Chain A
Amino acid sequence: MADLVMTSLDPNSRAAARGWSDLTIRNLFIIPTIAFLIIFNIFPLLYSLGYSFTDFRASTNAPANWIGLQNYKELLNDDFIWRNFTITAKYVIISVAGQVIVGFGLAMLLNRAIPFKGLITTLLLLPMMLSMAVVGLFWKLLYDPSFGIINYALGLGKFEWLADPDMALFAIAITDIWMWSPFVMLLSLAGLSAVPQHLYEAAEIDRAGPFYTFFRITLPLVLPILMIAIIFRTMEAFKTFDLAFIMASQPTTELISIRLYKMAFLEWQTGKSSAFAYIVLIMVVGITNIYVKYLNKVKER
């Protein structure tokens, strides 16, 4: 298979001048990559799959006992774990939807000739370049009920953004939207600038309204690239840890990755947490597959 897709070496290239064959180059580049993947990804993946069927605890010297599907059964019957899943689903929906609306909106605004367009785009990209932990820490200050600037600016008095169990998840999602909308904006902008101008001209000649133009021309043509942004953001939002961990300790903000961390590294239930990680992995793979199927459909259109 690899031989079939391999193109032959350019006779004028440096590699050819050194007398390297295609096979040498393949071995030089592909084999280390595959070895790296096997050692650091595939092997731990399979090893932890084995652990997920045992009662192993890394913190003790006791040998691991095979307990079959017990861990999976316990996890899927645990009300607290289901609550973690519900919270995570809520968080993913709020933050990805928010990022798409804000990011795509910004891209639409920027997709025209305006002065300092490059500078504005660069400045808008700044939040994305910051570290998650730093963003979490300073948004915690911004949300502070006593001296936070958000309550001051919005005139909300002593509104408790992060201490209120119902509001905390939204507060974290808002921070995530602030941080990652630029990412959606960037991809949307690439999609928007690729829409052929003559389509809009044709629409104008046919006297199509702005809504009709948006839903029939802009959105369908940007959708494939927007879907890629949504896939990335969904996967990322699904495994969010740092922002939520730093900003609040409400049970209503305990995302699955936080619960998983506690189970694995505070309680040292290694076997059970491996099973938990597998459940999460299967879910992420499942959701991504649905997206990818949809993406392919969109592309075919």
Chain B
Amino acid sequence: MKTQVTGLLAGAALSALTVSPLWAQELVIFWAEWDPANFLQELVLDYEDETGIVVTVETTPWSDFQTKAFTEFNARGSAYDMIVGDSQWLGAASEGGHYVDLTDFFAQHNVGEIMAPATVKYYAEYPGNSGKFWAIPAEGDAVGWSYRKDWFEDPAEMSAFNAKYGYDLAPPETWAQLLDIAEFFHRPDEDRYGVAIYTDNSYDAMVMGVENAIFSYGGELGDFESYEVDGILNSAENAQALEDYKRLYGYTPPGWAKSFFVENNQAITENLTAMSMNYFAFFPALLNEATNPNAKSTGFFANPAGPTGAQHAALGGQGISVISYSENQEASMKFLEWFIQPEVQQRWADLGGYTAHAETLSSDAFRNATPYNEAFYQTMFKVKDFWAVPEFAELLTAANQRLYPFIVGDEGTAQETLDLLADDWKKTFEKYGRSQ
């Protein structure tokens, strides 16, 4: 009995020592479960070699990443020291006091200059143009497209396409061409379909998909400074963009009503569609012959331009923030100092991470490293994002409730849908006192 008590005391003393910041030998980074998190785990092994501090990347599936992260924040939990959080969370996490203010860190290390401008704007700054920073851009990401090169380059298909549409079959440069090609390859009797797009309405998947159309058609979600949405969200170009997104849904495989990144990669690996929308972060899996039998004949292109020539894409990706409740804030800051060094960013890119480091990103070595890096580089200067206000989830819910029945259920018109959504968003902004 006595030895048991002594053992318990020793154990308690040991755990008390390990959580004390003076003895911090371990840092925990929380992220979603996907390939980039594995790359990051590999990268931080170097940090362990250099400093002896063990860094662990803890992950959870995407579907409950937001819930789990905010549950931990709300409980003021210190289980994680840093988090690679979604760009939309900036408002909620900064106003809620969950993130450590990194404005001084930015000034001290010139982070605003060394990272690509779009990544600083969307992954780090909140509110927009305030000069207050909450995260270090870590994983750049945006939506791009993959396509079946073998289908596109088949001479019979090429001549049939040219005869029907009057121009050559090639990766689309405009949304009009994208629609033509999707229509052309949509052959349900042959078990071949035109295109795979995002339709999952549980978080931001479908909204991101629609954003690709809206931004390239020259539209906006609203005025991010005055919170005005009426006349902007429900503009004529946005209605056209939504209408065309719904047309694309008509060219998807059967049962394509709850699809996100997994299904959209499957569309290519399972020979289902000619083209597929997805985040660049999921493209390495398409080049890997172990996960994609069509790896050799898979090509990539950036989100095409809209009718006005505008070309943009929806932003994915995340910045890395220090959590206010961490007991190892100082050690976390030291880690971030290490992370933003050019050599580390180069190694991050080599491992497969999408660096946001401007110099690494624009180097020829990076742009030629994979078939999609060039498209990624081009896209990262044209990205736009969703609202990052604390009530972003309510805005997403309203968007899902309005857009999904129109796209999948064929209810109402595009203009009606956007008018109703603009009204919902206006009410939400009024509720939180953002707009007059």
Please give the residue numbers on chain A whose beta carbons come within 8 Å of chain B beta carbons, in ascending order: 57-61, 80, 144-146, 158, 160, 162-163, 165, 248-252, 262-263, 265-269
Contact = CB atoms under 8 A, between A and B. Distances in A.
Interface in B93-137: 95-97
Interface string B159-202: 00000000000000000000000000000100100000000111
Given A58-B74, A249-B200, A251-B201, A266 B397 contact: yes
B257 interface: yes
11 contacts: A57-B390, A59-B390, A144-B255, A158-B254, A163-B254, A163-B256, A163-B258, A165-B408, A248-B258, A265-B71, A266-B203
A61 B74 CA distance: 9
B46 interface: no
Contact of A162 (B255, B396, B405): B255
B73 interface: yes
A250 B257 contact: yes
Given A266-B67, A268-B70, A249 B391 contact: no
Interface of B: 66-67, 70-71, 73-74, 92, 95-97, 188, 191, 200-203, 253-258, 390-391, 393-394, 396-397, 400-401, 404-405, 408-409
A146 B254 contact: yes
B254 A251 contact: no
B254 A160 contact: yes
B96 A160 contact: no
Contacts of A61: 95-97
B394 to A, nearest CB: 5
Contacts of A265: 67, 70-71
Given A160-B255, A249-B404, A251-B405, 6 more contacts: A60-B92, A60-B390, A162-B257, A265-B71, A267-B391, A268-B92
A158 B189 CA distance: 10
A58 B67 CA distance: 12
B130 to A, nearest CB: 18
Nearest to A144: B255
Contacts, number: 82
Nearest to B73: A59
A250 B66 CA distance: 21
Among A59, A80, A158, the one with the most B-chain Cβ atoms within 10 Å of its Cβ is A59
A59 B390 CA distance: 9
A251 B394 contact: no
Contacts of A58: 70, 74
Given A59-B73, A61-B96, A163 B257 contact: yes
Given A162-B257, A163-B254, A267 B397 contact: yes
A269 B70 CA distance: 12
B62 to A, nearest CB: 13
B257 A251 contact: no
Contacts of A263: 397
Given A146-B253, A267-B394, A251 B258 contact: no
Contacts of A162: 255, 257-258
Contacts of A57: 390
Contact of B401 (A146, A160, A251, A267): A251
A146 to B, nearest CB: 6
A262 B400 CA distance: 12
Contact of A269 (B66, B73, B394, B408): B394
Q: Chain A at the B interface: mostly helix, strand, loop or mixed?
A: loop
Contact of B255 (A60, A145, A165, A269): A145
A123 B349 CA distance: 55
A162 B255 CA distance: 7
B401 A80 contact: yes
B71 to A, nearest CB: 7
Nearest to B270: A146
B189 to A, nearest CB: 10
Nearest to B64: A265
Nearest to A269: B394
Q: Give 5 nearest A-B pairs by CB, closest first.
A: A163-B257, A145-B254, A267-B393, A145-B255, A60-B96
Contacts of A158: 188, 254-255
Given A144-B255, A158-B254, A265-B71, A249 B201 contact: yes
A167 B428 CA distance: 32
Contact of B393 (A144, A163, A266): A266
Contacts of B67: 265-266
A195 B253 CA distance: 54
Most chain-B Cβ atoms within 10 A of its Cβ — which of A80, A145, A265?
A: A265
A249 B405 CA distance: 11
A85 B248 CA distance: 32
A251 B202 CA distance: 10
Contacts of A266: 66-67, 203, 393, 396-397
Contacts of A165: 405, 408-409
Contacts of A262: 397
Contacts of B409: 165, 250-252
A252 B404 CA distance: 11
A146 B409 CA distance: 20
Contacts of B188: 158
A250 B206 CA distance: 12
Contacts of B408: 163, 165, 250
Nearest to A79: B401
Nearest to A163: B257
Contacts of B257: 160, 162-163, 248-250
A158 B71 CA distance: 41
A160 B397 CA distance: 25
A229 B92 CA distance: 45
B255 A268 contact: no
Contacts of A267: 391, 393-394, 397
A115 to B, nearest CB: 42
A110 B360 CA distance: 72
A61 B402 CA distance: 30
Contacts of B393: 266-268
Contacts of B202: 249
A267 B95 CA distance: 15
A160 B259 CA distance: 14
A80 B424 CA distance: 12
A251 B417 CA distance: 15
Contacts of A144: 255
Nearest to A74: B431
A249 to B, nearest CB: 5
